[in-house]
Structure 1
Amino acid sequence: MEFSSTPWILIFPGLMASVIATLVIRKLPTNPESNSFPLPPGPKPWPFIGCIYQVLRYKPTFRWIQKVMYEMNSEIACIRICGVHVIPVTSPELAREFLKKQDTIFSNRPICMSAEIVGGGYLTTVLAPLGDHYKKMKRIVVSSVLSTAKHHWLHNKRIEEADHIVSYVYNQCKDSANGDLVNLRIAARHYCGNVVRRMFFNKRFFGKGMEDGGPGAEEVEHIEALFTILEHLYSFSILDFVPWLRILDLDGHEKILRTAVASTQKYHDPEIEKRAQMWENGLKDEEDDLLDVLIRLKDGSGRPTLTTEEIKAQITELMLATVDNPSNAVEWAMAEMLNQPELLAKATEELDTIVGRHRLVQESDLPQLKYLKACIKEAFRLHPFAPFNVPHVSTQETIVADYFIPKGSHVILSRPGLGRNPRIWEDALKYKPERHLKDMDECKMDLNDLELNMFAFSTGRRGCPGVQLGSTLSVMLLARLLQCFTWKIPSGLSRICLIESGNGLTPATPLIAVAKPRLAISLAMKNV
């Protein structure tokens, strides 16, 4: 939204209310330490309202923040928006200070419009502020949903979807001797959507799907809704910082989020309510998926641990956390490798050497595929899905790198800022999987960077418990695509465009490439 189109005649009353409330409720730091240590550098804020002008004027806000930090030549900044100090960070050393050394201080979450709507009123794990509810939900997710035991339990469902995506791509190109065009964004997001629906609802499609195995209208709407939520969650909506303006919904974010959440609920809620009723009526006696697991959880008194509303909200959050990284990383990795065909050849050679061409790659093979894992990790580094991590809110005043960090500050680590930091990474803007080979463990599927030189998955007290799942889905998808098909740039193009979209970090246009079945694997399609 351009600043010039903002209805200022409507904004002014809300801003005045915001200013008055800020004066009454919020106070500037009074700790004596604040007089000895400055705030991190940043743009000069207006009195009381801070940098609201810039937040409204420059969209997307994360690109304006990147520009500000570049012009200041600083790896930490302070951007005050009304009464909130937003602290973006691009330094791995400072990131470790915030998320590791002082993790207990920076372990809260903000109270804001987008998280409230998406989290069903903070009923989930990732979006919930500190408290007993957060502790309960995290314990459940870690022990009952994303544990190693549950990962093994869901193995067959993931493999069936890996088989299915091969069949889907095969159907797109099997009838042409020279191969045919395949939309890799649709394929990647389709695969991720299938996996999460199988994990939670034990079904691939909400509807009938397409004859070629592709997503039907229901699945398209479902995935589009999930990615719309991801695009607008913590996206610097003015309503996240000035709640008194929610009645106006100036940037339209609340309406967009509510519509997208309603789209997911249209498909999720009937499944959840029907399944809960089946268990209550004794029509089900065996757990088939994670929805069954969540419904069957009991406390010490034998009562359900989770309410239906908690289950609904938590499933949506887990789906959001699963679909983004794998699909984005594979699309970018394929785009980069098509422009450097020697990388495609090297990854394919590794697959042929370790797996062969007469059986499909399995999850048990993935840890040994060091180069393929490096390709995905390099995509995580250079092309993250989101510009920032979920905000970490300080629970008290503290000092970091001789800067004063006020209580209630929103600390956000810049994913591209860390991953593309030229001080840390040689040829930071070049896609070079080889740089990660020394870190690849042949016994593990974990593509996280605990030193935060890049940000693939969160770490620390609020760390991501789904590292194994996210790493497995990403590498498996790329492995199946490279093992089963040859890929080349479409006729008429010399290179794949690597420009980012205007509003985010995904490719500006979906990746379209020419796929052709590899002979030995095409014969194996009879078994898929």
Structure 2
Amino acid sequence: MDRTSLAVLYFPIAMGIYYSMSIAPFTTMLSFPTLLVFITFACFCYLFKSQWPDKLQKAKRPSLPPGPKPWPIVGNLPEFIKYKNETSVSHWIHSFMKEMNTEIACIRLGNVHVISVACPEISREFLKKHDAVFASRPLTMATDVLSKGYMTTAFSPFGDQLKKMKRVMVSELLSKARHGWLYKKRVEEANNLVRYVHNQCKNSDEGGLVNLRVVARHYCCNLMRKLMFNRRYFGQGKADGGPGFEEEEYVDAVFTIFVHLYNFCISDYLPFLRGLDLEGHEKIMEEATRVLEKNHNPIIEDRIRKWRDSKIDEPQDLLDVLVSLTDDNGTPLLSVNEIKAQITEIMIASVDNPSNVVEWAFAEMLNKPETLQKARDELDNVVGKDRLVQESDFPRLNYIKACLRESFRLHPVSSFNVPHKSMTDTTVAGYFIPSGSHVILSRIRLGRNPKLWDEPCSFKPERHFQDLSKREQVVLEEPELRFVSFSRGRRGCPGVVLGSSMAIMLFARLLQCFEWSIPINQGTIDLSPGKRDSFLAQPLLAVVKPRLPPDIYSISS
């Protein structure tokens, strides 16, 4: 309390006491009531003084972004619960933003203001101009479970732990030098991908029916296991290169976690409900996380013992890198729990985006055979048919990358990006953004904004060649936030290079090595998304035939 406040509070009290004492010999009946009046008056003055500047400040500051009118105390939680049960919260948010014709909206859930943004200019203002203000993350039930109490890079709030883990990720795991060091492992898994698909269609002139979702997701998981643990499978795998039971269970757990990670859990806005698990999310997250840790932890603990016993001299994979890091005193830089939590986060964050973008790209292109043919023609012209596409070919595969960009734009892996949390009150785009607000960019509405994109709901890869005047080649990143391929800003995705190479290699190898067609009598591919997620409602099934000389497939064995 400042001196002015003390004066306002105590001056009337002192005067009241003095007045009461001075008149006591003459009229004792008035002394106590008079003192009470002065005390009451003092309290009133103090409250008025403390509230008056806030009221003036509130009158002067900008208004909150438009949004549905909140209820007292609970805000918009009644609507939240209604639409969460009926369709999805993201559908509700997008619906009222469309009805209100606004590109920024504010939804109050309990005491939390959730700010949804669908405009690239406003998005850039949040994540470029005011990036430092929005560099934190919300504390949620799901991220707490997954990160062992916020020990990791992507989900930790702003602070020393984040800075430490981010240095490890950027300097040690995802540097340019480290990317080159892991090249052979990526090639191994690209070859295994071709072998696996070829084994499903090589024995029939009519081709084989392939579940592209299974192919894409398991390739991404196999690749990350190879980079992280120097092994393709946790269990035995199958002779044809496909997943065994352990792999299927693992991949299911990975995507269960992804779907529930930021799925608007009510206890994130009413924390006193945490533990009651009214929606069952906490149990789902804990069980899925246990599946991952059941496979990860024995390997991690065994590797730590080997390093401590000096049985390993040089790192062979990313786990070795994490275990071998030391501080200035020569002691391990990371605790066992930090290593376990960071590896789990990496596995979750690396497999969803590449697999989803490739499945959607194939779904769109199977309905547009001319687009599929253009992509194959580019591969034949750049790479030919006498060898397999390699990462060194990527700079010249502009149409391939344009197809992936278009898939990112039209079919993002989630409705919103990972939330940013404001650390102070600020003003963005003329609106007041309170401290503690959760800011979410609408991936769907950014990518389909009719002010930016001609025929926004049509799959047109050619539109991305307009950017070639500004750069030498098409890239998967979108720094101007006209859509979101990889997260941007201070809390942006540090694995853009790895994620891009995973998506391009998966897409290019499948296109180069195989003919893809829609199953007979199916008509066209149904492009409906899931009701509660952004994946295709039904996994993509396609007929596959080899299109390269037989000896090329033996290279991948």
Whether 1:172 aligns to 2:205 is: no
Cα deviation, residue 417, structure 1? 1.1
Separation of aligned partners in 1, 2:235 and 2:141: 32
Whether 1:35 aligns to 2:59 is: yes
Whether 1:268 aligns to 2:296 is: yes
Cα deviation, residue 445, structure 1? 8.0
Q: Deviations over 1:114-143 (max 9, x none)?
A: 111111100000100011110000011000
1:399 maps to which of 410, 427, 433: 427
Whether 1:50 aligns to 2:75 is: yes
1:511 maps to which of 533, 540, 551: 540
> Which range moved further: 182-191 or 234-243?
234-243
SS at match of 2:104: coil
2:397 maps to which of 369, 394, 402: 369
SS at match of 1:77: strand
SS at match of 1:171: helix
1:350 maps to which of 355, 374, 378: 378
Which residue pairs with 1:215 in the alignment?
A: 243
Which residue pairs with 1:23 in the alignment?
A: none
Superposed, 1:84-103 pairs within 5 Å as 84-103=112-131
Q: Deviations over 1:387-418 (max 9, x none)?
A: 11111111111111221111110000011111
Code of the residue aligned with 1:126 in structure 2: it is A
Superposed, 1:178-189 pairs within 5 Å as 178-189=206-217
Structure 1 residues 473 and 31: CA distance shift in structure 2, 3 A: farther
Which residue pairs with 1:77 in the alignment?
A: 105
Gaps in structure 1 of 5+ consecutive residues: 1-26
Separation of aligned partners in 1, 2:247 and 2:472: 35
Cα deviation, residue 519, structure 1? 3.6
TM-score, length-normalised on structure 2? Answer: 0.88
SS at match of 1:486: strand
Separation of aligned partners in 2, 1:286 and 1:518: 41
1:445–1:468: 8 Å Cα contact kept in structure 2? no
Whether 1:388 aligns to 2:416 is: yes
Separation of aligned partners in 2, 1:52 and 1:148: 45
Q: Deviations over 1:208-260 (max 9, x none)?
A: 11121111111111111111111011210001111111232111111110111
Which residue pairs with 1:492 in the alignment?
A: 521
Which residue pairs with 1:320 in the alignment?
A: 348
Separation of aligned partners in 1, 2:235 and 2:473: 36
Separation of aligned partners in 2, 1:92 and 1:128: 26
SS at match of 1:295: helix
SS at match of 2:150: coil
Separation of aligned partners in 1, 2:502 and 2:275: 41
Which residue pairs with 1:480 in the alignment?
A: 509
SS at match of 2:427: strand
Cα deviation, residue 354, structure 1? 0.4
Cα deviation, residue 55, structure 1? 1.6
Separation of aligned partners in 2, 1:274 and 1:443: 46
Superposed, 1:269-284 pairs within 5 Å as 269-284=297-312
SS at match of 1:404: strand
2:443–2:483: 8 Å Cα contact kept in structure 1? yes
Which residue pairs with 1:237 in the alignment?
A: 265
Q: Deviations over 1:326-363 (max 9, x none)?
A: 00000000000000000110000000000000000001
Code of the residue aligned with 1:500 in structure 2: it is P
> Which range moved further: 49-58 or 368-377?
49-58
1:329–1:376: 8 Å Cα contact kept in structure 2? yes
TM-score, length-normalised on structure 1? Answer: 0.93
The number of residue pairs the alignment matches comes to 500
Separation of aligned partners in 1, 2:106 and 2:96: 10
Whether 1:331 aligns to 2:359 is: yes
Separation of aligned partners in 1, 2:466 and 2:475: 14
Separation of aligned partners in 2, 1:216 and 1:193: 13
2:386–2:548: 8 Å Cα contact kept in structure 1? no
> Which range moved further: 436-445 or 71-80?
436-445
1:449 maps to which of 449, 473, 478: 478
Separation of aligned partners in 2, 1:51 and 1:149: 49
2:83–2:92: 8 Å Cα contact kept in structure 1? yes
2:207–2:544: 8 Å Cα contact kept in structure 1? yes
* Alpha-carbon RMSD: 1.5
Whether 1:467 aligns to 2:496 is: yes
Structure 1 residues 279 and 200: CA distance shift in structure 2, 3 A: same
Cα deviation, residue 438, structure 1? 3.4
Separation of aligned partners in 2, 1:57 and 1:342: 44
Separation of aligned partners in 2, 1:107 and 1:160: 37
Cα deviation, residue 443, structure 1? 6.6
Structure 1 residues 83 and 98: CA distance shift in structure 2, 3 A: same
Structure 1 residues 496 and 233: CA distance shift in structure 2, 3 A: same
Separation of aligned partners in 1, 2:471 and 2:479: 18
Separation of aligned partners in 1, 2:179 and 2:312: 23
Code of the residue aligned with 1:480 in structure 2: it is R
Cα deviation, residue 321, structure 1? 1.3
Structure 1 residues 32 and 477: CA distance shift in structure 2, 3 A: farther
Tell me the percent identity: 54
> Which range moved further: 79-88 or 112-121?
112-121
Cα deviation, residue 30, structure 1? 4.5
Separation of aligned partners in 2, 1:318 and 1:453: 26
Larger radius of gyration, structure 1 or 2?
2
Separation of aligned partners in 2, 1:32 and 1:273: 59
Separation of aligned partners in 2, 1:469 and 1:443: 20
> Which range moved further: 374-383 or 240-249?
240-249
Structure 1 residues 223 and 511: CA distance shift in structure 2, 3 A: same
1:369–1:442: 8 Å Cα contact kept in structure 2? no
Which residue pairs with 1:11 in the alignment?
A: none
SS at match of 2:454: coil
Greater relative contact order structure (CA < 8 Å, 6+ sep): 1
